[in-house]
Structure 1
Amino acid sequence: MFALVVRFDLRDAEAADAFDALLAETLPLITEREPGTLVYATHTPQDAPLARIFYEVYADREAHAAHEATPHTSRFLAAVRDWVSDVRLELLGSPTGKGLPG
């Protein structure tokens, strides 16, 4: 398995609304079309309403590469560039714990 955490800091409330709307369109496509994407959870931190944190678990690095190559993910990543003031990516090792496959 392969996992990562991404934090998007958004410019302002308008950017956050646009980000959330596009995310709402993109999430069902990830769920329906990406069997190698095992967990794709998004959060808004309680103390940072203009931030979005993604926790993603993939079957392997190839599944992550397939996710990145999909039209819906490419569209999402291209669009959010205009709304984001900062991005932080943490690549993680194989996860262990409750609620995880395997």
Structure 2
Amino acid sequence: MTSGFGLVVRFELRDEASATGFDELVSRTVPQIEAQEPGTLAYVVHTAPDDPKVRVFYELYADRAAFDAHEQQPHTKHFLAQREQYLTDVQVTFIERQTGKGPAAA
């Protein structure tokens, strides 16, 4: 098992139209992450059933270098630049594994 490098990101979206645009941006970005980033162990997008304007991402990377490589990908740079038009707030929490079950090292 890898100790990994992770983060949780909470996005607050402006309105319903912004949520739709953000979701479309995500749907174009995630397949590229899956296909091109072997060091990205988990990249999971969640909705909040009680608040349709919230998205929460859980991201787990093999290590800090894998996260840094993710940040340099053209599709990630595009996502980061385009997401701002949809958001009112972003909260990022970096996390380290303490205990539990998770994916094996790549």
The reply to whether TM is greater than 0.5 is: yes
- Matched-pair contact (CA < 8 Å) for 1:2–1:95: no
State how many pairs are aligned.
102
Corresponding residue for residue 93 of structure 1: 96
Secondary structure at the aligned position of 1:63 is classed as helix
- Aligned with residue 52 of structure 2, among 49, 52, 62: 49
Give, in whole Å, the separation in 2 of the partners of 1:68 and 1:95. 24
Corresponding residue for residue 27 of structure 1: 30
Query: What's the CA shift string for 1:1-60, capped at 9, x where partnerless?
Result: 101000010000111000000110101000000000000001001111101000000000
Aligned-pair Cα RMSD in Å: 1.1
Q: CA deviation at 1:99?
A: 4.0
Matched letter for residue 93 of structure 1: E
Which aligned segments of 4 or more residues in structure 1 are displaced greater than 4 angstroms? none
Matched letter for residue 43 of structure 1: H
Give the TM-score normalised by the residue count of structure 1. 0.95
Give the TM-score normalised by the residue count of structure 2. 0.91
Give, in whole Å, the separation in 2 of the partners of 1:70 and 1:46. 31
Structure 2: state its 5+ residue gaps. none
The answer on 1:15 being equivalent to 2:6 is no
Identity of matched residues, %: 49
Structure 1: state its 5+ residue gaps. none
Secondary structure at the aligned position of 1:101 is classed as coil
